Amino acid sequence: MAGVNLHLRHSVTQLFPTISSPPHRQVQLGTSPSRVIVSNLRANSTAVAQTLRTTRRSDITASSSVGSSTTSSDSVVVDRDEEGRIPLLEVKDLRAVIVETRQEILKGVNLVVYEGEIHAVMGKNGSGKSTFSKVLVGHPDYEVTGGSIVFKGENLLDMEPEERSLAGLFMSFQSPVEIPGVSNMDFLNMAFNARKRKLGEPELDPIQFYSHLVSKLEVVNMKTDFLNRNVNEGFSGGERKRNEILQLAVLGAELAILDEIDSGLDVDALQDVAKAVNGLLTPKNSVLMITHYQRLLDYIKPTLIHIMENGRIIKTGDKSLAKLLEKEGYKAISG
C-alpha cells in the first residue's frame, strides 16, 4: 500500500501544488484517500489550490423548533417530526457567500431529509442548486454566513470536508476530476478502507476488496478495464458519471448528493445509473439529487421535489410539481 500512497501523494501534489495557509483553518492535503475524494471540491474550483477556506463557523449552532428534541454530545439540538423520526439532514435558514466576491448566493435555504427519502432539487439555471450542494460538502469557494446544517445529529459546519465525507456524505459532481497516476482500483481501495477505519470496522486487503469491487462493477454495468485506468483520465462524460456511482456503490453513504447525474447520459446509461442508485437505497440512507429533467425522476422516484429560486427553496411538492414544470415551465411556479 506504501507504493499506492506515494502515487496518491504525488497526484495530489500535482493537482494542488501551492496550497497556502488561510487565516483560520487549513485543510491539510496528504495521503489520505478521503482527502482525495475531497479533491473534487478543489479541482472544480476556479481558485484551485490557493487559499482553502472551510465553511466552518464556530458561532453557528443548530436552532430548535417545534416538536421534541434530542441533544447529541455536541450540544446540537435535533428536531423530530410527529412520528418521532430524526432527520438525517436538517438545513435551516442557510446563507452563504462566494468567498472571493462576498456575493450572497444562498439566501436562507430550509430543507429536512429523513432516512430513506429521496429529494430532488430543481430550479432555473443559476438559482443556486449546485452552490447549495457544494456548501453541504464544504466547498472552499463558499463561506457560510448564517443558518445551520445538522447531519446525523452533528453540526456539519464544524467538520472539514474530509470529515463530512467520512461521516457518510457523498457528492457526485457535475464535472468529476481526473487524478493522474492513481488507478481507480487503488483509489477506491484506500477510500474504502479509510471509511472502514472511521467506522471501526475491519479493512479489506486488496484481494478481498477486489471481490467486493467486482460485484459493484456489475451494479453500474462497467467493465473491469476501468479499474486499472487512472481515475477519470480519458473517461467520456457518461463513463465519468458511471464512475461516480461506482464510487458511491463501493464506499456507501448515508446521504448521496447527486448533482445532475443525468446530464450527458444516453438512455441506456441513464437507466443503468438510475438502477444502480435505486439498488443502493435502503431504509437508512437518502439521496438528494439535482436535476433539470423529469426523465430522471421517472427512474428514481422522489419523496419530495423542491424548487429553488434565487438562493431559496420557494416550493416543495410531490412528483406532480416536476410534471407541471415540464409542461408549463418555471413561470407556473415562480413567485
Ligand X SMILES: Nc1ncnc2c1ncn2[C@@H]1O[C@H](COP(=O)(O)OP(=O)(O)OP(=O)(O)O)[C@@H](O)[C@H]1O
Judged by CB, which is closer to ligand X: 210, or 330? 330
Judged by CB, which is closer to ligand X: 126, or 206? 126
Query: What is the rounded distance in angstroms from the CA atom of residue 268 to the CA atom of residue 78?
Result: 41
- Mark 152-172 as b/e (b = at least 16 C-beta within 10 Å): bbbbbbbbbbbbbbbbbbbbb
Long-range CB pairs of 155-159 (<8 Å, 24+ gap) are 155/60, 155/61, 155/62, 155/74, 155/76, 157/55, 157/56, 157/57, 157/60, 158/56, 158/58, 158/74, 159/56
- Smallest gap from residue 290 Cβ to ligand X (A): 7
Interface residues with ligand X (CB under 6 A) are 46, 98, 105, 123, 125-131, 141
- 280 and 249 Cβ atoms separated by less than 8 Å: yes
- Smallest gap from residue 269 Cβ to ligand X (A): 20
Judged by CB, which is closer to ligand X: 126, or 180? 126
- Smallest gap from residue 306 Cβ to ligand X (A): 12
- Smallest gap from residue 168 Cβ to ligand X (A): 23
Judged by CB, which is closer to ligand X: 126, or 279? 126
- Smallest gap from residue 32 Cβ to ligand X (A): 25
- 102 and 89 Cβ atoms separated by less than 8 Å: no
- Smallest gap from residue 274 Cβ to ligand X (A): 20
Query: What is the rounded distance in angstroms from the CA atom of residue 205 to the CA atom of residue 184?
Result: 16
Judged by CB, which is closer to ligand X: 259, or 272? 259
3-state secondary structure of 51: strand
Judged by CB, which is closer to ligand X: 141, or 239? 141
